[in-house]
């Protein structure tokens, strides 16, 4: 017996029209979909097929169409749905819809799945399906993330004050450090990183590939490995698109609707959303994954990840108000600290910066050079 989702959203019954290919002939049939215990594909009074929701998978879809297949159907059988509302109901029920997506990062594919993305948003808004938010994250186009990052950048500067610090010798040292970590982490040159003159000990990664280190964090740091570890951790959040995922979880319905209509720049929704990007904490799981990423990147450089933990611990120890510090968005737990210490190893690679470069980086906000 097949057990369909018992608490599935929306009422059962007719879901709307779709185009169906049965996989045996090339005949294109106009069918109605009924969302019962299984997805019933009907032509007039006949049920042509009934697919278990858990077996339905996303296929390469042209823009504006959601194309799906079924694991238990003939290989060439497929359904094509153009109605967003119908696509949304289907997306909300088929929890393994994009099981075959992870690992594919081509922009063309992401763009091709725009209806799948749209349907996921509708599923989140209408049915509050949390899984759909996870599924949506990989589908957010990179161009959109960059626009989001641009607006959030303004938010960061407003909330934390401060200007970009880039005196020549400090910037040269910072660029050297960022490039070493970025290359070790396997990220391309689209990553932009800058130091902000804010006294708050913090660092940020914003969607679209921007990383900020605040001068307040540099002031507390005692060596280049501490900052390198933090940079690597932030790059981990970028790689895993955690900021975008946070926004989808926390940004609210208005953000999702803005995303849906693609016209969010300059709107109140985006300001609100980018604020949530700056103030929200990453989940425990996201922190662990970013730590794993940072530990690997540091090991590849022949450097220890332990200093990163030491810097964070130093911020905890002395900071009275942690609400704006790096600890607010990256909660530091005992097991995180223990893990970074456990991964300690004697340096096998050269120092990331010379003593003189490190001194220049520490002084990047001074106007003297």
Binding stretches for Zn ion (CB under 5 A): 282, 287, 290, 330
Exposure b/e, 114-134, CB count within 10 A at least 16 = b: bbbbbbbbbbbbbbebeebbe
Question: Which residue number, 38 or 330, has a Cβ lying nearer to Zn ion?
Answer: 330
At closest approach, how far in Å is the CB of 84 from Zn ion? 35
- β-pairing, 78-81 vs 164-165, is unpaired
Residue 276 CB, nearest distance to Zn ion (Å)? 16
Hey, how many other C-beta atoms are within 10 angstroms of the C-beta on 75?
Answer: 9
Alpha-carbon gap, residue 239 to 185, rounded angstroms: 9
Q: Which residues contact 231 (CB under 8 A, 6 or more apart)?
A: 177, 178, 181, 193, 203, 211, 213
Q: How far is the CB of 277 from Zn ion (least distance, A)?
A: 13
What CA–CA distances, in Å, run from 3 to 6, 37, 124, 366? 8, 7, 23, 66
User: Least distance from C-beta 240 to Zn ion, angstroms?
Assistant: 10
Q: Which is nearer to Zn ion, 195 or 203 (CB)?
A: 203
Q: Which is nearer to Zn ion, 15 or 243 (CB)?
A: 243
Q: Residue 117 or 238: which CB sits closer to Zn ion?
A: 238
As measured in angstroms, the least distance from the Cβ of 287 to Zn ion is: 5
* Distance separating alpha carbons of residues 60 and 273, to the nearest angstrom: 31
Place of tokens 């294109």: 28
In the bound state with Zn ion, the residue whose beta carbon lies nearer, of 67 and 330, is: 330
Q: How far apart are CA 365 and CA 369, in angstroms?
A: 9
Where do the DSSP E strands lie in 52-95? 56-58, 66-70, 78-81
Of residues 21 and 282, the one with the C-beta less far from Zn ion: 282
Cβ 312 to Zn ion, closest distance in Å? 10
Q: What are phi and psi of 44, to 5 degrees?
A: 55, -120
Give the residue with the Cβ less far from Zn ion, 159 or 280: 280
Shortest Å, Cβ 211 to Zn ion: 12
| Shortest Cβ 282–Zn ion spacing (Å) | 5
- The residue with its CB nearest to Zn ion is 330
Joined tokens for residue 228: 């390198």
Nearer to Zn ion, 226 or 287 (CB): 287
Distance separating alpha carbons of residues 96 and 57, to the nearest angstrom: 7
Please give the Cα distance from 356 to 362 (Å, whole number).
10
């Amino acid at each position: 017996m097949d057990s369909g989702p018992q608490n599935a959203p929306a009422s059962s019954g007719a879901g709307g029209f779709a185009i169906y290919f049965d996989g045996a002939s090339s005949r294109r049939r106009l069918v109605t979909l009924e969302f019962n215990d299984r997805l019933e594909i009907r032509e007039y009074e006949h049920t042509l097929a009934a697919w278990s929701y858990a077996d339905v998978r996303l296929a390469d879809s042209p823009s504006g169409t959601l194309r799906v297949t079924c694991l238990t159907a003939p290989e060439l059988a497929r359904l094509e749905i153009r109605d967003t509302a119908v696509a949304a109901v289907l997306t909300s029920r088929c929890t393994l819809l994009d099981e075959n997506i992870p690992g594919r990062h081509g922009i063309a594919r992401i763009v091709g799945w725009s209806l799948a993305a749209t349907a996921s948003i509708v599923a989140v808004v209408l049915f509050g399906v949390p899984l759909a938010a996870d599924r949506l994250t990989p589908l957010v186009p990179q161009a959109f993330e960059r626009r989001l990052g641009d607006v959030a950048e303004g938010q960061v500067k407003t909330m934390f004050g401060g200007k970009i610090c880039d005196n020549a010798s400090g910037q040269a040292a910072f660029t050297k450090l960022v490039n070493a970590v970025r290359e070790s982490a396997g990220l391309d040159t689209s990553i932009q990183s800058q130091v902000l003159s804010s006294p708050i000990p913090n660092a940020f990664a914003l969607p679209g590939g921007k990383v900020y280190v605040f001068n307040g964090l540099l002031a507390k740091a005692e060596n280049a490995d501490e900052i390198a570890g933090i940079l690597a951790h932030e790059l981990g959040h970028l790689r895993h698109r955690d900021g975008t995922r946070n926004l989808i979880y926390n940004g609210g319905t208005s953000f999702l609707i803005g995303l849906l209509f693609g016209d969010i720049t300059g709107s109140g929704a985006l300001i609100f959303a980018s604020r949530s990007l700056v103030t929200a904490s990453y989940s425990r799981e996201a922190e662990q994954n970013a730590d794993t990423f940072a530990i690997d990147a540091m090991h590849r450089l022949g450097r220890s990840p332990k200093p990163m933990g030491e810097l964070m611990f130093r911020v905890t120890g002395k900071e009275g108000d942690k609400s704006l510090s790096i600890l607010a968005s990256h909660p530091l737990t005992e097991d995180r600290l223990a893990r970074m210490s456990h991964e300690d190893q004697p340096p096998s690679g050269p120092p990331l910066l010379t003593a003189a470069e490190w001194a220049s980086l520490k002084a990047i906000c001074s106007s003297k050079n």
